[in-house]
Structure 1
Amino acid sequence: MIDGQPLACFQPFIDTATGRIAGVEALGRLRQADERLLSVGPLFADPRTPGVALRRLDRQIRDNALSRLHEAPADWFLSLNISPRWINRLRPGQALPSLKQVHAHGVDPQRIVFEITELGGDIQRLADVVARYRDAGARIAIDDFGAGYSQLDRVLALQPDILKLDMRLFQEAAKGGPSSEVVRALAQMAEKTGCWIIAEGVETEAQLSFALECGARYVQGYLFAQAQLDWFAADAFVPRFAQLRTVYVKQKLAERGRIMQLRLQLAELMKILQTWAQGQAPLDQLPQLRDFPWLLRFYQCDRHGTQLTPNFEWRQDAWQADSRYLGHNWSWRPYFYHLLAEGWEERRLTLSSTYRDATTNQYCLTAGQFFENGQRLLLIDIDAAGL
């Protein structure tokens, strides 16, 4: 039995370009006799709850949200959750209940985002329903993007307007490590397909910073507001967001300053190593280079990317030579052809973006510079964590 009055509460989406509220998500609540509001989430997660009762509850909540949308600013959008499991129950050509509700309340479908939840459902039937939503003027979002591999199939089939990053994956990625690279890659993929990114579950300043790094168009989470019955003022979070954005920009400028300092140190290190290499001095005459604690290894390639020397590494208080990679060609690696494109003519020092080295499992950057009239390339691998 479902106990309580079904209501919609609204959690805002903050536009990262303005700090203003751009829209809200309708989240289901049950108002108890003592006025407490309980989430309907446990009911939908409980397999014992009858499907008929859940569908009725879902439509009641959606009906409540749509009936109140006229109270919100006219430029806000409303995000409504749609379960693929229930779409499967529709008969071919049957009128879509959600669209009927939108029209019954006189709401412009262009203000509606239908948020596809869960991983179930027949993808072709789902694509047909999504096409009908689009024909009516509504937009499509995919929730929990990144939670499972099948979401990629869903993106290709549905071509959504918005992708909501999976909250658990996003929050873990904000801590750093391999998952952060996965989420950045997902965000880049979304950008290339023309999707806007929503980062939900933004609860800390660090998570907001990561959302901005990922290019999120909207952020949603307790850092700004929980879902509530009453409407927020459109500019309620502008000062707070502006403050946090300023902190983020300062952090990025500080990171840029560290990179500039690193470039100065690398220029000094390049001179030391090139002088040693050109003098063909033995390995024991190479300085210890204690001023460069982030140095992982260095080596030389020819201008075509073939490794000419061993990897030289400082281990156990001595320089060690690792010859396993002699003759390997690295021209296929992004940092190498960037070097060819950017550093060949001017012989200037270039620095790659951060990447994860598959051999050592370390996060690295690679610096490179041509010398000996462009016939040799000196490459330095840098421990990104050490920075």
Structure 2
Amino acid sequence: MTTPPQNIPGTHLNSAFQPILSLSHQRHVGYEALIRATQTDSGETLTPGEIFARATSATELHALERTIQSMHAQAYNSLPPSGDNPAWLFLNLNQRLIASGEYKETLPKALETAGLAPHQVVIEMLETPGDNQRLADAVSWFREFGCLVALDDFGTGYSNFERLLELTPDLVKLDRSLIQRAVEEHAEGQRRILNNLVALIHEAGSLVVLEGVETEHQALTALDADVDFVQGFFFARPTLVGPQSPPDLGLEPLRQITEKFTEHALEELTQERSFLRPYGQAFLRAAARLEAGTGLHDSCADLIKMPYVQRCYVLNGRGEQVDEHVLPKRCGYSADPATARDRLFAQVPDQRYRPLIDTQGGNWLRRHYYRDACMELRRLKVSRPYRSSTGNHICVTLSIAETPPAESSPYVLCCDLL
């Protein structure tokens, strides 16, 4: 059954829905409701902004919002079922309505009329300058009413982490500009920013939706960024609800891009394992010699000669670097620590980072490679690539924890690879 289009004076309104897909579940988890409007006399298409601009008073705005919310809620009931799995209805509320507080009347009535429960709805809200308390009050009200809350278009305009932490939204929808920048040529830095942004939002307690995914490259980048949900033309365009509406809208592109990403990721993983295998083997031999009582320099003599090895060092049970580090000869290593340090400084590729090169006396307790090693003694750990604190480069750290005889706390042998 198709929900009949709604009309306001001079305008013909209809609901269109764009699926929101879970990369993990490989299915729809929601649909964003969007307005489709045309002039009654000319058939000219109108944008949502043009529609709301016609509401010149609070009374007209509230009437328009009631019409649109009711229309979307009823049309949602006409969506084709996708098995036994429920899906959220994503609703955008006009910012003027948020400011007035009228949503407390319009939303319950719209859902009641359509027979929808609040837990089926995700309210999308924009960050805008102005009364922060009013926005926080709205988020609190929607939660108490039973809806989920999504912060829309995050990553542009007025977005900031302070607001994110204050509002603690259930979902964060990343602005399309983030994925557009991440796929530009030579945009490795932008891709890392996207990946780290997703990780930070997850740590803040929110799920992540990446909207505006329009190309295969963008879809692969979204998978690599570990976002939870995707939305965009690459998967499906907004579609009017009708008897012929396909229940699997967007699922085939999702399956295909996931398969392509999986093949690429497994191939990349195989290459990484092949590259790291000799380093891991040499590192474990060095760890065995160190555990047997050989000094750090002699234990790491073979390892330090390998290409891409930057330094080897030992951390104690408090994460503090013990004594000197072992440096490769290409970086100026010699038996005399003072000479080694001078020659190292002289050969630093970027002299601006010279104050960071010497790590003796450092404390790396906060590093994941140290904590991961301490969680599983005698198990080789390989960190994810991260920005080194010793220069302008990305590195990977091998680490392994051992407990010396008669000692209660472990020490951790580490090796940084460029």
TM-score range, shorter chain: 0.7 to 0.9
Give per-residue Cα distances to partners, 1:181-214, cap 9 Å, x unaligned: 4433443344345533211111223332333344
Partner of 1:278: 298
Partner of 2:344: 322
In 2, Cα distance between the equivalents of 1:72 and 1:265?
A: 55
Q: SS of the residue aligned with 1:360?
A: coil
Partner of 1:29: 36
2:80 matches 1:69 = no
Q: SS of the residue aligned with 1:72?
A: coil
Partner of 2:47: 39
The structural deviation recorded for 1:81 is 0.9
Bigger drift between 169-178 and 212-221 goes to 169-178
2:112 matches 1:112 = no
Q: SS of the residue aligned with 1:142?
A: strand
Q: Percent identity?
A: 26
Unpaired runs of at least 5, structure 2: 1-8, 290-295, 333-339, 346-356, 405-409
The structural deviation recorded for 1:308 is 0.9
Partner of 1:250: 263
Partner of 1:381: 417
Q: Is the 8 A contact 1:297 1:313 kept in 2?
A: no
Partner of 2:275: 262
Q: SS of the residue aligned with 1:133?
A: helix
2:316 matches 1:297 = no
The structural deviation recorded for 1:342 is 6.1
In 2, Cα distance between the equivalents of 1:168 and 1:254?
A: 29
Letter matched to residue 124 of structure 1: Q
2:324 to 299, 308, 330: 308
Q: Is the 8 A contact 2:61 2:97 kept in 1?
A: no
Bigger drift between 144-153 and 231-240 goes to 144-153
In 2, Cα distance between the equivalents of 1:241 and 1:59?
A: 34
2:156 to 147, 157, 160: 147
The structural deviation recorded for 1:174 is 5.4
Q: Is the 8 A contact 1:163 1:197 kept in 2?
A: yes
Partner of 2:210: 199
2:387 matches 1:356 = yes
Give per-residue Cα distances to partners, 1:119-139, cap 9 Å, x unaligned: 234233233333332333322
Give per-residue Cα distances to partners, 1:115-173, cap 9 Å, x unaligned: 11232342332333333323333221111233367543443443322221222124334
In 2, Cα distance between the equivalents of 1:280 and 1:331?
A: 20
Superposed CA RMSD in Å reads 4.1
Alpha-carbon distance change, 234 to 326 in structure 1, aligned in 2, over 3 angstroms: closer
The structural deviation recorded for 1:68 is 1.9
Q: Is the 8 A contact 2:165 2:204 kept in 1?
A: no
**TM-score for the superposition, normalised by structure 1:** 0.75
Give per-residue Cα distances to partners, 1:8-66, cap 9 Å, x unaligned: 3221112334433332112223224564544324777x9x9957576665554334323
The structural deviation recorded for 1:224 is 1.0
Q: Is the 8 A contact 1:302 1:308 kept in 2?
A: no
Partner of 1:385: none
Alpha-carbon distance change, 377 to 15 in structure 1, aligned in 2, over 3 angstroms: closer
Letter matched to residue 357 of structure 1: S
Partner of 2:98: 87
Q: Is the 8 A contact 1:307 1:325 kept in 2?
A: no
Alpha-carbon distance change, 379 to 156 in structure 1, aligned in 2, over 3 angstroms: closer
In 2, Cα distance between the equivalents of 1:307 and 1:210?
A: 42
Alpha-carbon distance change, 36 to 229 in structure 1, aligned in 2, over 3 angstroms: farther
Q: Is the 8 A contact 2:93 2:124 kept in 1?
A: yes
